[in-house]
Amino acid sequence: MQKAFFTALLAAGLGTAALAQNKPASSSKTYSAAGRQVQVYTTASGTQQRLAAGEKLSFQQVGQPLETQPTVFVDPTHTFQTMVGIGGALTDASAETFAKLPKAQQQEFLRAYYSPTQGIGYTLARTNIASCDFSSDTYAYVQDGDKELKTFSVKHDEQYRIPFIKQAIQAAGGKLPLYVSPWSPPAWMKDNNSLVQGGKLKPEYRQAWANHFVKFIQTYEKLGMPVWGLTVQNEPMAKQRWESCIFTAEEERDFVKNYLGPTLKKGGMADKKLIGWDHNRDLMFQRAATLFDDPEASQYYWGLGYHWYETWTGSGMQFDNLRRVHETYPQKNLVFTEGCVEKFDLGNVQDWKLGEKYGNSIINDLNAGTVAWTDWNVLLDETGGPNHASNFCYAPVIADTKAGKLIYTNIYYYIGHFSKFIRPGAKRVAVTASRDALQATAFLNTDGKVAVVVMNSTEKEQPFQLWIKGQAAQTTSPSHSILTLVVN
């Protein structure tokens, strides 16, 4: 009964438009923390604690906190957006690396990511349409000049990626919402006749390219991999030395309005979640305004995807841009579609700052209204690849393919503090902290449990009380740590 109820809630969260996802805060029933216990899970620098279950805390009546009492305030009666899922990308690089592992380590990897009890319970996945930089080579699914797509084949993917995705779905319990993203149309469809270095889709191939999306989704689904959604173009404003294609905001709008949207609808795929932009936070408001202020285009868009690489300009992460999009277009869904730490160095995989970058982003992204959060590669090898463009990066789990073992970075544990405890269907609730050393977000799960994530990236430990409507539980946030406090 409980499983059926949860499944129904999950289906509702994934299968409907944004109806309740992005409404302003609503006040639900009354909530009392009296008599409840809090289970604390800790990951902390300089310790062996990694998602470690610690003491159970009890609430006591305290009333009005003082300014001298550091406090994290949570109010579960005020709810915001509904969580769709948290996960990572199942790329060619991840699949090829996975294939090099011994069977025992492959099973360990699948449990570590997809088991909600033995692992961190990923509930979302992304994969690439044709090649991307995290592929060992460049490739396309159709032969040159085949406008009718008669030669379309995903045979390339059958060696590594398709078996990998299927095993991930199975490890996740048979359901793993998957969305798909292209890095480039086939070279012959572009004005630079190349998969790389940007270029643009030629006008005469717009319909063929829209048909290509439908063909890919149909093919993957026939092979047993249901596709939940798609993005229009990965990083449409980036000219890269790897697969890339430029779409201005107006070009993306018109492609979706006149070609991709109608083609998906005609192909019986109007229910697929179409996500625009799929690039950095810096330009996202201009993109949102162009796509969503046009009613004909907007009808096809479920939401807007974004990355965190605006930092390449020297900027910090621009969370305010995210908030502006959310408050201006509350009916659209925000999805973090990609992020990773670049410039891989095997000697640096245990740097604590790696995880803290993730914690800072996830907390701020969720608090700004994001409904789904997807890391980049779930697995890479000891070089930070394979990557045909030498764009080597970090992943939460690194495979030492020579030794046949897995290396868990603290990124894995930091993401786990969210993915393991904030489940699909959970609603974000109001949370604030009285000290800037404590960053926090909180969600009310469908089973009634409240998950509060608190991060401390300072050098000092910070005692605080978790305060819910006059009841408080005392605990301490260690220096350079992340806690998940589950209120039962």
The pLDDT of 198-214, averaged and rounded, is 98
Taking the model in full, what pTM does it have?
0.94
SS3 at position 392: coil
Is 469 found in the same domain as 392? no
Q: What is the CATH number of the domain that holds 187?
A: 3.20.20.80
Which one of 96, 235, 251, 252 is the catalytic residue?
Answer: 235
- Residues 410, 477 within the same domain: no
The reply to whether 96 belongs to the active site is no
Domain boundary residue, one of 407, 424, 441: 424
Is 158 catalytic? The answer is: no
Say yes or no: 289 and 184 in one domain. Answer: yes
- Residue 33 in 3-state DSSP? coil
**Count of domains in the chain?**
2
25 pLDDT above the threshold of 70? no
| 76 in the same domain as 178 | no
In this structure, are 146 and 73 located in the same domain? Answer: no
Structure confidence at residue 79 (pLDDT) = 98
Selecting among 96, 243, 310, 338, the annotated active-site residue is 338
Q: Is residue 4 part of a domain?
A: no
- Tell whether 296 and 194 lie within a shared domain: yes
CATH number at residue 61: 2.60.40.1180
Q: Where are the alpha helices (DSSP H) in 259-409?
A: 261-266, 284-292, 295-298, 319-328, 352-367
Per-residue pLDDT band at 8 (split at 50, 70, 90) = very low
Angstrom CA distances, 80 to 14, 258, 306, 368, stand at 16, 34, 20, 10
Closest among 301, 152, 129 to 227, alpha carbons compared = 129
Q: Are 134 and 243 within one domain?
A: yes
Report the candidate in 374, 347, 359, 423 with the shortest Cα–Cα distance to residue 94: 374
Is there a single domain that holds both residue 322 and residue 400? Answer: yes
Residues 147, 122 share a domain: yes
| Residue 155 domain flag | yes
Average pLDDT over residues 232-237: 98
Q: Give the span between the Cα atoms of 124 and 128, in whole angstroms.
A: 14
Q: Backbone phi, then psi, for 407, in 5-degree steps?
A: -115, 120
Q: 311-323 pLDDT, tens per residue? A: 999 999 999 999 9
- Segments forming the whole domain that contains residue 68: 37-81+429-487
3-class DSSP state of 267:
coil
pLDDT band (50, 70, 90) for residue 24: low
